[in-house]
Structure 1
């Protein structure tokens, strides 16, 4: 009996938005993946956006796996339909390519100019204020300086699964209804989606959203309490701030006054949070062996991990789709 982790890659369409995901399934896994495909969570994911599997992998799968994948709506595609790029200047979406993979969105956005610098400066200031529990009036003052930041904040808080029956019309009202901890989460996610001129924005938002939610769910699966789960979410999100701001991560984190365990995890991969970050890093690098080892150290069964990673992608889609509706408005 072979069990293996499910490896997933977000793919961009020609507009560089999230258009599909690629599923990298171990052809030898004849039980674990089959059980996952029969869950409601997997069916919901495959119905929400194209789930692609390269033909060369499909050909090596047992017939029952192929049949179940087809029933769930997965698409089998030629290898040249998905092209990878390591940087923005390597992007090539000429036919027969339909989808773009790779880590191109993790490199510098190549933006310059005073407007971009001003926007980034305001975002860093906002991040520091929120992390340090600043007075609401000081936070509102930053939003008044940048209508794009303000717009995205209210759109996110108003519309993404908050259970609030009325629209939120001010930042102070959002704090009152949501509480500081939940507001921190959405504020920081908003920072990854606020720059319309950054071609990386859509995929970077998708990536950090999956990363943060998967960390939170992994902490829960490992038996950690709610406080630790929240720290795991923040660790996943803060781990990409260096990429977002094109600055050394340590320089960004020091003013945020984070807890010692969180800092140790982010800068040195230490402690329980560090182990979880290493697990997610391994997943993103398609290193099944390293991922499995980290899951064993955390006491999380592969079956549980596979399901929580699917759930993390579902959660990401809600965030990304809302952003895309904003851009089309």
Structure 2
């Protein structure tokens, strides 16, 4: 896995639930814009990365969309990977000839799922529609009406249409109504703002709880009392602490015992996680991203020699706009945080802001060194994989 940086981007269904992930990768020894470099990169990620760290550690139980070049396909590289776990994504720069058609048809007959990336209707690519399964449309590449016309043209085929580069909820709704079934882009991590939307009563109660729990002067006994007064939170916290995630030898039967055993900061962290989970009525994609971001901020701070105390919460709260569907500045007005933390979240200012900036840059796959302030892309990539694994285990217990 030397010099390879791995990322992933969510692929959602029409209910905004995670359907799959596209694997992203880059490295200093190859250039994905060149055909030879792309082939080398794909071969290397399969042999040195996926087989080494395992698909489950990157995408959980979901499928992985993986880019394949013409040379990869002719060499039948996909056969090294399980057909029930991957989607073969055929890059748009593949020159479709009889050899490629034959190779793809063979893979389809073997039971592999084929996706045509950045598809444009042409005489060259039309034969692939007879045995491909998914067509990916870059919705920003052409005028809107051309894309909508292409969707109509594709409807007679037995295909799933995936709209990629969907950046807003309005775009999501437009292409969903037009017939697309899968969606890729950053729209789910942005607020679906509706004029006049108010925070619900249950959400206000959660905000009040967060205010009390994150009071820097709160004591052990006060924290135990605050949590104990919320029967639902007490139950969830004890169930969580007694789960396999913590691996405790003795069962915790009281909040006071849990606070004493785990410590003030650790219990505060999990109260924050559980309470923030109740704030969002969204599908799990937004909250999973918040968990990964929070953990990655914390790990990055430790790696950069910064105080990691508030970085987990900073990462989590930076996703609050997508959880509540209100602008981030408005959401933070109701949060129990100081001005430095607020500036770090809103404007990536100060040491904590630098760390959040690095994590956000990694999420957006903006890995040029001028976008990063602390760690290299390779170092961030290692922390990203650790954060995914941690968040997967944590989310699974919620």
TM-score w.r.t. length of structure 2: 0.63
User: Displacement of 1:165 after TM fit?
Assistant: 2.3
Contact kept? 2:11, 2:21, Cα under 8 Å: yes
Q: Tell me whether 1:159 sits opposite 2:243 in the alignment.
A: yes
Deviation of the 1:16 alpha carbon:
4.0
Aligned equivalent of 1:238: 317
Retained in 2: the 8 A contact 1:174–1:183? yes
Matched, 1:293 2:376: no
Q: Indicate the residue corresponding to 2:187 in structure 1.
A: 103
**Could you tell me which residue of structure 1 aligns to residue 308 of structure 2?**
229
How many residue pairs get aligned? The number is 309
In 1, Cα distance between equivalents of 2:177 and 2:394: 25
Tell me how far 1:127 sits from its aligned partner: 0.9
Would the aligned equivalents of 1:42 and 1:310 in 2 still touch at CA under 8 Å?
no
Map residues 1-329 of structure 1 onto 2, 5 A cutoff.
Answer: 5-13=5-13, 16-26=16-26, 27=32, 28=37, 30=40, 33=45, 37=49, 40-46=52-58, 48-53=60-65, 57-59=67-69, 67=77, 70-71=80-81, 73-76=85-88, 77=115, 78-80=134-136, 81=160, 82-83=162-163, 85=166, 86-87=168-169, 90-91=172-173, 92=176, 97-98=181-182, 102-108=186-192, 117-132=200-215, 133-135=217-219, 139=223, 143=227, 147-159=231-243, 161-194=245-278, 198=281, 200-222=282-304, 224=305, 228-245=307-324, 246=326, 248-249=328-329, 252=332, 256-258=336-338, 260=340, 262-289=341-368, 292-295=369-372, 297-300=373-376, 302-323=377-398
- The structure number with the bigger radius of gyration is 2
Q: 1 or 2 for the larger relative contact order (CA 8 Å, sep ≥6)?
A: 1
- Alpha-carbon displacement from aligned partner over 1:207-259 (angstroms, at most 9, x marks no partner): 1011111222223343x15xx23433232112223443436547736863548
Give the Cα–Cα distance (whole angstroms) in 2 for the partners of residues 320 and 65 of structure 1.
39
Relative to the length of structure 1, the TM-score reads 0.74
From the two aligned structures, give the one with the greater helix fraction: 1
Deviations 1:62-105 (A, max 9, x none): 67998389537543233435445522893439977356654235
Unaligned runs of 5+ in 1: 324-329
In structure 1, how many angstroms separate the alpha carbons of the residues matched to 2:352 and 2:79?
A: 34
CA contact (8 A) 1:239 1:266 kept: yes
C-alpha distance in structure 2 between counterparts of 1:117 and 1:71, whole Å: 46
